[in-house]
Amino acid sequence: MRAAVVKGVGASLPQRVVTNDELAGYLDTSDEWIRSRTGIGTRRWVDAGVSTADLATQAGALALRSAGIDRVDAVVVATTTPDRLCPATAPEVATRLGMTGISAHDVNAVCTGFLYGLASAVGLIAAGNADTVLMIGAETFSTILDPKDRGTAVIFADGAGALVLRAGEAHEPGAIGPLVLGSDGSLADLIQIPAGGSRQRSSGVSAPPEDYFFKMRGREVYRHAVERMSASALEALSRAGLTMSDVDKFVPHQANQRISVAVGMRLGISAEQTVSNVERVGNTAAASIGLLLAEATAEGSLRAGQRLLLTAFGGGLTWGATTMVWPQVTAHISSPPRPGVEALAS
């Protein structure tokens, strides 16, 4: 079977930095609470008028530049925050990147979106329906946050991360390993936007304004996240014929630093092996793993030849994990998160 192999990586962050102190200016919270409970110090939110497609297009352009190509056969966008409920965001992104006519679709698995999007890209390549795929995780979560809800407003954030994948062999560096994916719809209520979809519309009952915002039952989600991320990571290793001692770097979805640490402890992974950017960018949902791969590569904490273990968890509920050997690749990021990281505006 043809493997999907990473050929390029790019990311885009909005310019606007939102500090914990700014949030504490209008919410009953504090920098101390946010840092100690989540590990988050700052996050990026879009300025008025900037959409998910804008971030996705920029991250996609930079991933194509990283791959040294200007066309792919298909675009997949993983997002919880599409520009519109209908149509999907991917066709617009493909067209803005100069690729009108190609396959383009969205995937929604909330914070597991990057891994479900990867599965879609892997499937397109394995079946021979595409030789190259641009997979973008992109979010403008700030647009669905309830500004009065301190349980979510301090956590979620905006950004985009993208990979270019090409057809290749499973043994090559950059080949995506077996993907373990799962879901449990009986717990859909733990993470949801209650109104605006067909269930509320067909009820004929108008919803209160707060029901159009994102809601999360954080404490319950936390427990499921630790269990599912740990279990799926172990299963992905086993399906790849590997053990924990083969893993060089752990790349968890950046939900909350405490979740990453708790999962790492269960798996026997050290803090030094765990890559993280949640302190600077918050939880960017479907964009999180792509953004982390790009930043960690640009900073040198991910290097060619290292074996990575990736895992994520999100609304649905959904979860997933995979492994790969990181290839020789240069990451391009639109908005440098700290001095020293190469800036390449698209």
Which helix (H) or strand (E) segment holds residue 82: the answer is none
283 as an active site residue: the answer is yes
Pick the binder of ligand UT7 from 38, 66, 81, 335 (CB under 6 A): 38
Alpha carbons 49 and 43: distance in angstroms, whole number: 18
Asked if 283 interacts with ligand UT7 (CB under 6 A), we say yes
Cβ 295 to ligand UT7 shortest distance, Å: 18
Residues pairing with 162 in the sheet: 10, 136
Asked if 259 interacts with ligand UT7 (CB under 6 A), we say yes
Amino acid found at 23: L
Cβ 311 to ligand UT7 shortest distance, Å: 11
Pick the binder of ligand UT7 from 221, 237, 298, 302 (CB under 6 A): 221
Pick the binder of ligand UT7 from 35, 150, 239, 307 (CB under 6 A): 150
Amino acid found at 152: T
Active-site residue (options: 108, 256, 283, 332): 283
Which helix (H) or strand (E) segment holds residue 169: the answer is none
111 as an active site residue: the answer is yes
Asked if 318 interacts with ligand UT7 (CB under 6 A), we say no
Q: Which is nearer to ligand UT7, 132 or 256 (CB)?
A: 256
Asked if 57 interacts with ligand UT7 (CB under 6 A), we say no
Closest to 5 in 3D by CA, of 176, 180, 239:
176
Pick the binder of ligand UT7 from 168, 174, 290, 314 (CB under 6 A): 314
Contact 5, 167 (CB under 8 A): yes
Contact 219, 162 (CB under 8 A): no
Asked if 151 interacts with ligand UT7 (CB under 6 A), we say yes
Neighbour tally for 277: CB within 10 Å: 20
Q: Token match 């060089």: residue?
A: 248
Q: Give the residue at shortest CB distance from ligand UT7.
A: 218
**Hey, what are 216's tokens?**
């999360």
CA distances from residue 134 to 5, 77, 273 in whole angstroms, order as listed: 11, 8, 28
Residues known to be catalytic: 111, 253, 283
Positions that interact with ligand UT7 (CB under 6 A) = 29, 33-34, 37-38, 111, 150-151, 154-155, 216, 218-219, 221-222, 225, 255-256, 259, 283, 313-314
